[in-house]
Amino acid sequence: MKSISESGENKNKTSFFVEDYIASDSSIPEYITAKSGLKVRVADSEWRLLHNKGKGNILNLSWLRGSNLKDRELQLTLLVFIYYAINKAASTTATVSIGIRPVINSGFPSVLDLTIMWSGLSISKKKATNQFFGTLLKLGYREFKEYHQFTSANLGSDNADPLSPFTGRLNDIEFDSVIQNLNQEIAKVDFDENKDYNFFAKRGNSYSFAFSTLRSLIGTRLVVAVLRRPLQVAMIKWSDIIPVGGTFDDDLIPVENEVFNIGTVSLQLRLYRIKNNVKDARYRSTPEKYPMTLSENLSLLLYRYKKIFITGVQLTLLNSGINLTKDKVLTLIKNMPIFISSEFFSVKINCLSEFEGIFTHNSSLYHLNEALITNAVAGMKGISDRTNNLCVTSNRLRHTALTRGAEEGLDSAQLSRLTGVTEPAARHYIDIDYLSRRLIDDNYIANDFLRNAFTVPVRNLDKDSGVIIGHDFEEIGGVKNISSCNLCLAKMGKPIGCYGCPNFLPLLDADHRFILEQAEEKLKANMAQFDLIIGNRSLEKLERQVKKIKIVISLCDEIINKKEELNA
């Protein structure tokens, strides 16, 4: 079992150029301290920049050894990487290293050569090259001014199209189905905190559902709620979640920005920026000015997750010979990451003082690799009328929120605060006209893929299934998972809100036309009360439900007619 104090040790000793070169050049230090606080030996071919396994935790510079860089070019390249390792995020440092390699591997190009190769570079490599020469200029090497003028003026644009079916916003059918599936997965979780050690350490086959799976579900749910990058979610510690009405006592968060008592039992969340211009900024040193209020349901979910988390810490301490009550553990976890690496549960903890020294406000040890949260978000399932391979990312979730917010009339400042993007980026969404946004959602009804998405649930009801009852107590359909159905938060209610839900199994011979009449009457009554020009979202959802009910009716009629033809 590995000791907790061994986790940050850098054991790499392979040099990519001789130490005498460093000693003879006073501008290149022998050691530097990375932004994470780790000590890095500059002569090593691999620089460890992070405690955890996030992007850029190991910066591989072995390629410099095989490059054709001249001594001065090598010196300048090292100075750039030293600057980035000390001042920038590890992921940014790695991105610049990867992007600049094909540009300078054969030696620094002339401005003319750079101009010739420019069109063949990807957007990411162009950005890395611009950052590289811009940093040299910032460090005082004026001979690269012409380089930076060219690169900064010719970056091009990779602005995401918010209406793209592959990278842009999720339309309402896609978004609704993704959230419904996620909520159903969470509803299946057993939140009994009396788990054994195997549940956390994943030893043996005691659990098909382990702590890592629960952690992924909660992480995904939080990404959906806060609309931030996975790295920002991975940075959160338990000290960042407090009840509304409480205070973070943070000098960088104005007291008036904190969430006062709003009459409900909810939590507020402190989030941290990952892109800032603060010199020598440490990990988790720049919080966003406005904490975020979490819903009652999400607050309860985090509370139940926290109880299981405390059990895991208690068992890990006990496994190291430290027996503490849950109340005592509660006070210890304040600076522990909410989404903790599974490696923690296998660590040997020598004493409590060592434990408390490792988990501080700015520590990054055992914070989950953000790539795992990214993968969990990408694993979200849903249906789409535009593609057979729906891809969900945190970027697409933000695009969706930004577009919806623009539809609701939010200004750029409000959109920026909602999603954490800059105001200039938010303005891009305000410029899209409302009718253009609606085109996506209005074209789905004749789509074969969406029709196929409804064919599987249509069936005769099994005796053991849960039952969806109509307003006149008639059976409309069954459910795949009764507990998920009981926790459903669909605002339109049953049975109208059930159509299209992946948990709903419409009956083949139910009177779906009667439900359609009810939905159309409800839509007609609501249309008389709202100005359609503003695009009221409640009306949009009701319109979609009417279309979904019509699809189910068409499918039922088609199946029944085929049966009658076979029996004729």
Q: Is the pLDDT of residue 325 over 90?
A: yes
* Most confidently predicted of 7-11, 188-192, 222-226: 222-226
pLDDT confidence band for 532 (50 / 70 / 90): very low
What pLDDT was estimated at residue 163? Answer: 64
Mean pLDDT is lowest, of 83-97, 277-291, 433-447, for: 433-447
* pLDDT average, residue stretch 156-169: 67
User: What CA–CA distance (Å, rounded) separates 147 from 364?
Assistant: 36
Domain ranges across the chain? 4-153, 172-241+267-280+294-378, 445-567
What's at 264, amino acid-wise?
Answer: T
pLDDT of residue 20: 44
Any idea which of 2-6, 249-253, 444-448, 484-488 has the lowest mean pLDDT?
Answer: 444-448
Q: Is pLDDT of 321 > 60?
A: yes
CA distances from 228 to 288, 418, 420, 552 (A): 11, 9, 7, 36
The model carries a pTM of 0.72
- Given the DSSP bridges, would you call strands 46-48 and 58-60 parallel, antiparallel or unpaired? antiparallel
Tell me whether residue 296 is exposed, middle or buried, using C-beta atoms within 10 angstroms of its C-beta: 0 to 12, 13 to 18, 19 or more: exposed
pLDDT interval class at 487 (50, 70, 90): low
Of 314, 308, 327, residue with least CA distance to 192 = 308
pLDDT in tens, 108-144: 999 999 999 998 899 899 999 999 999 999 999 999 9
When the pLDDT of each residue in the chain is averaged and rounded to a whole number, the result is: 81
DSSP of 178-234: HHHHHHHHHHT----S---HHHHH--TTS-SS-HHHHHHHHHHHHHHHH---HHHHH
Q: Retrieve residue 85's tokens.
A: 């390792």
Alpha helices in 379-481 (DSSP H): 394-407, 412-419, 423-430, 434-442, 448-455
pLDDT bin (cut points 50, 70, 90) of residue 416 is confident
Indicate if the pLDDT at residue 530 is higher than 70. Answer: no
More confident residue, 249 or 15: 249
pLDDT of amino acid 361:
93
204-216 pLDDT per residue, tens: 454 568 999 999 9
Using only C-alpha atoms, the chain has a radius of gyration, in whole angstroms, of 28
Tokens coding 54: 């996030």
293, β-bridge pairs: 268
CA quadruple 213, 217, 373, 175: dihedral sign: positive
pLDDT band at 460 (very low <50, low <70, confident <90, very high): low
| Residue 488 host element (H or E) | none
CA 517 vs. chain centroid, Å, equals 40
